[in-house]
Structure 1
């Protein structure tokens, strides 16, 4: 009789508690795990490409002493890197893969994206599944001098939204 009593009391309590609206810390962990936050924004620079060299010159990254650009090349040097990075740029360089080395590609850090704010909407039930609308703010931090390569204003936060669904006893983020 005791076992039967425990089954009727404990199981409904456990079932109700797991379907409760999650707190902001739990939602932050779900978003960070599912969308890989915090994450680094990077940019590929093709060191042998004259168009990339021109872009870096136009953005005056050579004057900021981030890069050195070979402005002219001899015929025998065509295809060799025109762009090299200074000691000042070293903290912002991402170690290249073997393929990137062969292709003279250097990735540079632009900034880091993090979640700075979360707002949970009211939960609703649809076809037996509980859903909660989520709005979160993505903020860029550790903005580097290479951020001028991006057309986006990284100082302004971006608001995104998604939906949390309670499926198989767990909250899951439905990606926007």
Structure 2
């Protein structure tokens, strides 16, 4: 009888130890879900206002003309009003992005500043009930272009983000932010 009782307790302990009641969100699982549900790597873009004299000054101050990416027309005839005063060169071609026709009609050109890519999940905080989690993750910039000089963003630093997860009967899901 002792052997049967001992075997029964050993089986119970073994089953308890091997059962997977641990529904905690792992860093790897969070990383995979973030990759699936978000658009990383993301292209960071910027609008060049090619017909705006104020913007032309900003472009000159950023040194883009000296780098050969564009030319700025410093004088304009009355007949040229409304035409672009910033002309992009062939050197700028690799950084040009598709621009909607409505933007092109007002002399706006989209350019690439960099690509933001997912680096790692740095931590996970589970809710008390175990049915939710907040993951903190970092992103970095790569393929930074000369046009990045137009903005006050430090493309060398890592950005910290948070993602909210909810536990469903089929597993963890990334919660969409309102307005997405």
Q: TM-score range by the shorter chain?
A: 0.7 to 0.9
Which deviates further from its counterpart, 46-55 or 155-164?
155-164
Equivalence for 1:11: none
CA RMSD of aligned residues (A): 2.2
Alignment of 1:150-165 (within 5 A): 150-165=151-166
Q: 3-state DSSP class of the match of 1:54? A: helix
TM-superposed deviation, 1:19: 7.1
Alignment of 1:1-176 (within 5 A): 20-126=23-129, 130-174=131-175
Q: 3-state DSSP class of the match of 1:88? A: helix
Moved over 6 A (4+): none
Question: Per-residue CA shift, 1:148-171, capped at 9, x if unaligned?
Answer: 111011111111223221135342
Q: Rg: which structure is higher?
A: 2
TM-superposed deviation, 1:18: 9.4
Could you tell me how far apart the structure 2 residues matched to 1:82 and 1:68 are? 8
Can you give the 5+ residue segments of structure 2 that lack an aligned partner in the other structure?
1-18
Normalising by structure 2, report the TM-score.
Answer: 0.79
Q: 1:86 to 1:22 in 2, by over 3 A?
A: same
Q: 1:70 to 1:165 in 2, by over 3 A?
A: same
| 8 Å Cα contact 1:123-1:131 kept in structure 2 | yes
Could you tell me how far apart the structure 2 residues matched to 1:18 and 1:43 are? 48
Could you tell me how far apart the structure 2 residues matched to 1:22 and 1:137 are? 17
| 8 Å Cα contact 1:19-1:166 kept in structure 2 | no
Count of equivalent residues? 159
Could you tell me how far apart the structure 2 residues matched to 1:158 and 1:69 are? 34
Can you give the 5+ residue segments of structure 1 that lack an aligned partner in the other structure?
1-15
Which deviates further from its counterpart, 94-103 or 60-69?
94-103
Could you tell me how far apart the structure 2 residues matched to 1:25 and 1:84 are? 47
TM-superposed deviation, 1:22: 4.1
Q: 3-state DSSP class of the match of 1:156? A: coil
Could you tell me how far apart the structure 1 residues matched to 2:53 and 2:161 are? 37
